[in-house]
Amino acid sequence: MISKRIDELIDIIEKANYEYYTLDKPTITDQEYDRYMQELIRLEEENPELQRPDSPTVRVGGKVIDGFEKVTHEKPMLSLGNVFNESEIISFDEKIKKVVSKPKYVCELKIDGLSVSLLYKNGKLVRAATRGDGVTGEDITHNAKTIKSIPLKINKDIDIEVRGEIYMSKDSFDKLNAFGENFANPRNAAAGSVRQLDSKVAASRKLDCFIYHLPDPEDYNIYTHEDALRFMKELGFNVNPNNKKVNNIEELLEYIDYWTENRPKLPYEIDGVVIKVNDLNDQQRLGFTAKSPKWATAYKFPAEEVLTKVTDIIFTVGRTGQVTPSANLEPVRVMGSVISRATLHNEDYVVSKDIRKGDIVSIKKAGDVIPEVVKVITERRDGTEIPFEMTKVCPICHHSLKRKDEEAAYYCTNEHCDAKKIEKLIHFTSRHAMYIEGFGDRIIEDFYNLGYLKNYDDFYKLYEHKKELAELEGFGEKSINNLLESIENSKKNSLERLLFGLSIRHVGAKTADILGKNFKTMDNIINASFDDLASIKDIGDTIAKSVCDFFKKEENLDLIKKLRALNVNMMYLKEQIGEKTYFTDKNFVLTGTLERFSRDNAKEKIELLGGNCSTSVSKNTDIVIAGKEAGSKLDKANKLGIEVWDEEKFINELSKY
Ligand code: IVH
């Protein structure tokens, strides 16, 4: 009888989820819901053998995976072409009309999230996957099951795949960031959440999902997109209620106007309107390009500009000591994120736009780019605005600043400025430098202030503070271990990473690589004269002087000594094999799933031997390495007559060096 009660409870809870998350019409109270859920959890705990795989208790998360399995989509998950204005919409319609005489469209909101494929077998959710590169995605079933608007079981016991968008509502996004996360917009937050290994984290992120695509409509005798949407709704999926069939271009433009105007009222972010030909037979006649269907397009809203007030102009110090003015703003929502700061670049920029504290300004944000002040609304001035004046001293250490003749920038003259040091420590860990994962800027700043991190060698002694670190808020045993492991691994990095990480003026990642390649060891660089350095191609006098100056300083030599004593590698490891290899200067493309290497790993091996990797096959490709389930790239390679290796052959070639 217990199993009957479990079945009953599952039905009640899933019905309540559907009414609440999909229909937006709850019929039971939160307290009742909690009571049913508690009862179900208790029964399942007491009778683990009766736990059903589609039980809503999986929605609270708990499953942790080691890594993401690759999933090959049965039909590729395509992207959409874009149109940006009325005339482009009209030409899209004209093109359609060349094939279809009186096209009808379905207009849909373009949800700003990430696309997902959901697979049901016998009515039960068995797999959820991301789009990935369209052909191969990642299995995110454990996380998708925590999303309450994704049914674990649908209303018919059929096999079906549907596709849609996982997103985060504006409200959940604001709450998440208020709790200390720092996502740029709800899309990034949603993408970051479904890529969690621990489904408890995804469950806590309050994601949502709209379904908008049925890849195999003919299997269900469906002949229009409108019917496909209705069918999916009947199955229990969350289909956006604002989708609308339009009969002509006038109605289509009206839909766009309406949502351009009313988009701020929606509880989630949209970045445009998707236009789809309704008749599936017409869709078939129109066909596809390599990347997207010809029967659909996405109208993208223009980059949003909003007005806000400059509450203050402040100054920050970067790793080179450059002091940059920024505007503090009254917080406003622009393109999905709340903005309260905009860069003002340098003195000349602020003066040329005459931006003053107290001004009303228009700001703009395009994609992930840092927001900028577009212009000052001078008509809104009331005389209380305070004209800009560049600071004369460093905002952190109060030493004087110096403007470089040839640059618009001012620099702090204090070698020992705290802000500079913190920025340098952050840079040391960054992706193209020592690539130490697990630090955020804030943590480095905190560790600096706590005295654990003063200079680069302290990273490698951080394990001495393991106990104290574990007591800090937000730092679990596991994250500390991961961090320490990442620090330890960075000791093996090739020399150019360390050189770049040291923040030597004018030595960017590329220059560091040139230095590494030519001098091979740190000692050779330390001992190189100005002439030795300047004689290298692409190393000019400025760089040569800067490198010489850096290694003349006792404190820097001392630092290198300490790093060496801590076993940090000081040799250039790329192309260690010396002479040319078979891989040198050849262009490789990796496709499909390799069993013994991750993509990054294989790429690194190829690059270490002097080869290049790119993502698309062209006539310039020399070799395609094809793993399991390789798709269109392999086809193209075969068509172009390009040499193809399987994993076996790749391993064989690598083993020669
Ligand atoms: S249709 C073949 N409909 O926009 C059908 N996509 O820029 C392809 N998106 O990859 C997708 N809302 O992630 C479709 N109502 C909607 C959408 C939508 C958001 C996303 C989707 C797609 C991207 C293309």
For 53-105, write each residue's pLDDT tens digit: 889 988 887 777 778 888 999 999 998 998 989 999 999 999 999 999 999 99
Q: Among 467, 490, 513, give the residue marking a domain's end.
A: 490
Looking at the DSSP bridge assignments, the partners of residue 588 are: 613, 623
> What is the mean predicted confidence (pLDDT) over 453-466?
94
Say which residue the tokens 């985060």 belong to.
168
pLDDT interval class at 314 (50, 70, 90): very high
Same domain? 369 vs 424: no
Rounded CA-CA distance 12/10 in Å is: 5
Share of the chain above pLDDT 90, in %: 62
Closest CA to 626 of 610, 607, 604, 650: 650
Residue type (1 letter), 542: T
Q: Tell me, what's the pLDDT at 482? A: 87
Q: How far is CA 28 from CA 35, 38, 245, 319, in A?
A: 11, 15, 33, 56
Q: Tell me, what's the pLDDT at 576? A: 54
From the CA of 209, how far away is ligand 1's center (Å)? Answer: 12
Is pLDDT above 80 for 575?
Answer: no
Torsion, CA 647, CA 650, CA 655, CA 657, rounded to 10: -160
Rounded CA-CA distance 520/501 in Å is: 17
Same domain? 230 vs 318: no
Same domain? 185 vs 243: yes
Query: Ligand 1 pocket check: which of 84, 233, 255, 274 to mutate, most ligand atoms within 8 Å of Cβ?
Result: 274
Q: Where is average pLDDT lowest: 34-48, 90-104, 475-489?
A: 475-489
From the CA of 565, how far away is ligand 1's center (Å)? Answer: 54
CATH of residue 94: 3.30.470.30
* Token duo for residue 75: 């039909």
Question: Residue 115: CB within 6 Å of ligand 1?
Answer: yes
Query: Is residue 455 situated within a structural domain?
Result: yes
Nearest CA, atom 13, ligand 1: 115
Please tell me the total count of domains within the chain: 6
> What is the mean predicted confidence (pLDDT) over 321-332?
92
Give the domain range for residue 42: 2-60
Looking at the DSSP bridge assignments, the partners of residue 273 are: 109, 299
pLDDT interval class at 11 (50, 70, 90): very high
Question: Residue 108: CB within 6 Å of ligand 1?
Answer: yes
* Token duo for residue 14: 């899933």
Query: Is residue 87 situated within a structural domain?
Result: yes
Rounded CA-CA distance 322/408 in Å is: 10
Closest CA to 336 of 361, 307, 367, 310: 367
From the CA of 115, how far away is ligand 1's center (Å)? Answer: 7
Closest CA to 9 of 45, 56, 47: 56
> What is the mean predicted confidence (pLDDT) over 496-507?
95
CATH of residue 22: 1.10.287.610
**Distance between the two ends of the chain, CA-based, in angstroms?**
67
Question: Residue 111: CB within 6 Å of ligand 1?
Answer: yes
Give tens-digit pLDDT for 412-422.
Answer: 999 889 999 99
**Contact (CB, 8 A) for 503 and 425:** no
Question: Residue 213: CB within 6 Å of ligand 1?
Answer: yes
Burial, 250: exposed, middle or buried (Cβ in 10 Å; 0-12, 13-18, 19+)? exposed
Same domain? 222 vs 318: no
Closest CA to 51 of 63, 65, 67, 69: 63
Atom from ligand 1 closest to the CA of residue 293: 2
Q: At what angle do helices 554-565 and 541-552 cross, to 10 degrees?
A: 70
From the CA of 212, how far away is ligand 1's center (Å)? Answer: 8
pLDDT interval class at 158 (50, 70, 90): very high
Is pLDDT above 80 for 361?
Answer: yes
- Round the average pLDDT of the chain to a whole number and report it: 90
Q: Tell me, what's the pLDDT at 369? A: 61
**Contact (CB, 8 A) for 238 and 22:** yes
Give tens-digit pLDDT for 371-425.
Answer: 889 899 999 999 999 999 999 999 999 999 998 777 788 999 998 899 999 999 9
Same domain? 374 vs 441: no
Rounded CA-CA distance 2/39 in Å is: 11
From the CA of 110, how far away is ligand 1's center (Å)? Answer: 6
From the CA of 223, how far away is ligand 1's center (Å)? Answer: 20
DSSP 180-235: T---SSHHHHHHHHHT-SBHHHHHHT-EEEEEEE-S-GGGGT--BHHHHHHHHHHT
pLDDT interval class at 47 (50, 70, 90): very high
Q: For residues 311 and 318, which has the higher predicted lDDT (pLDDT)?
A: 311
Question: Residue 212: CB within 6 Å of ligand 1?
Answer: yes
Q: At what angle do helices 441-450 and 418-429 cross, to 10 degrees?
A: 130
**Contact (CB, 8 A) for 613 and 603:** yes
Atom from ligand 1 closest to the CA of residue 80: 24
CATH of residue 620: 3.40.50.10190
Is pLDDT above 80 for 604?
Answer: no
Q: Where is average pLDDT lowest: 275-284, 539-548, 579-588?
A: 579-588
Q: Tell me, what's the pLDDT at 601? A: 73
Is pLDDT above 60 for 367?
Answer: no
Residues involved in catalysis: 110
Q: Tell me, what's the pLDDT at 257? A: 95
> What is the mean predicted confidence (pLDDT) over 201-226?
95
Rounded CA-CA distance 510/497 in Å is: 10
Q: Where is average pLDDT lowest: 29-43, 261-275, 460-474?
A: 460-474
Segment holding 557, helix H or strand E: helix 554-565
Q: For residues 534 and 291, which has the higher predicted lDDT (pLDDT)?
A: 534
Q: Tell me, what's the pLDDT at 315? A: 94
**Contact (CB, 8 A) for 483 and 439:** yes
Query: Is residue 570 situated within a structural domain?
Result: no
* Token duo for residue 141: 């079933």
Q: Among 280, 300, 320, give the residue marking a domain's end.
A: 300
Question: 505: helix, coil or strand?
Answer: coil
DSSP 8-36: HHHHHHHHHHIIIIISS---S-HHHHHHH
Same domain? 281 vs 319: no
Say which residue the tokens 């309704």 belong to.
278
Query: Ligand 1 pocket check: which of 80, 109, 118, 209 to mutate, most ligand atoms within 8 Å of Cβ?
Result: 80
Atom from ligand 1 closest to the CA of residue 115: 13
Query: Is residue 530 situated within a structural domain?
Result: yes
Same domain? 241 vs 259: yes
Same domain? 355 vs 319: yes
Same domain? 174 vs 312: no
Query: Is residue 153 situated within a structural domain?
Result: yes
Query: Is residue 571 situated within a structural domain?
Result: no
Question: Residue 166: CB within 6 Å of ligand 1?
Answer: no
Query: Is residue 115 situated within a structural domain?
Result: yes
Q: Tell me, what's the pLDDT at 49? A: 92
**Contact (CB, 8 A) for 215 and 161:** yes
Is pLDDT above 90 for 277?
Answer: yes
Same domain? 220 vs 334: no
Atom from ligand 1 closest to the CA of residue 240: 15
Is pLDDT above 70 for 571?
Answer: yes
Question: Residue 80: CB within 6 Å of ligand 1?
Answer: yes
Q: Tell me, what's the pLDDT at 578? A: 53
Query: Ligand 1 pocket check: which of 110, 187, 273, 301 to mutate, most ligand atoms within 8 Å of Cβ?
Result: 110
> What is the mean predicted confidence (pLDDT) over 249-265?
95
Rounded CA-CA distance 35/411 in Å is: 62
Q: Where is average pLDDT lowest: 306-315, 520-529, 537-546, 579-588?
A: 579-588
Long-range contacts (CB closer than 8 Å, 24 or more residues apart) made by 200-206: 200/60, 200/61, 200/62, 200/64, 201/61, 202/61, 202/142, 202/143, 202/146, 202/147, 203/59, 203/60, 203/61, 203/146, 204/61, 205/168, 205/172, 205/176, 206/168, 206/169, 206/172, 206/175, 206/176
Query: Is residue 579 situated within a structural domain?
Result: no
Same domain? 375 vs 427: no
Same domain? 602 vs 617: yes
Rounded CA-CA distance 485/580 in Å is: 34
Nearest CA, atom 18, ligand 1: 110
Rounded CA-CA distance 263/313 in Å is: 31
Nearest CA, atom 9, ligand 1: 110
Is pLDDT above 80 for 471?
Answer: no
Query: Ligand 1 pocket check: which of 77, 106, 115 to mutate, most ligand atoms within 8 Å of Cβ?
Result: 115
Rounded CA-CA distance 207/193 in Å is: 8
**350: which DSSP letter?**
H
pLDDT interval class at 180 (50, 70, 90): low
Question: Residue 37: CB within 6 Å of ligand 1?
Answer: no
Q: Among 490, 510, 544, give the residue marking a domain's end.
A: 490
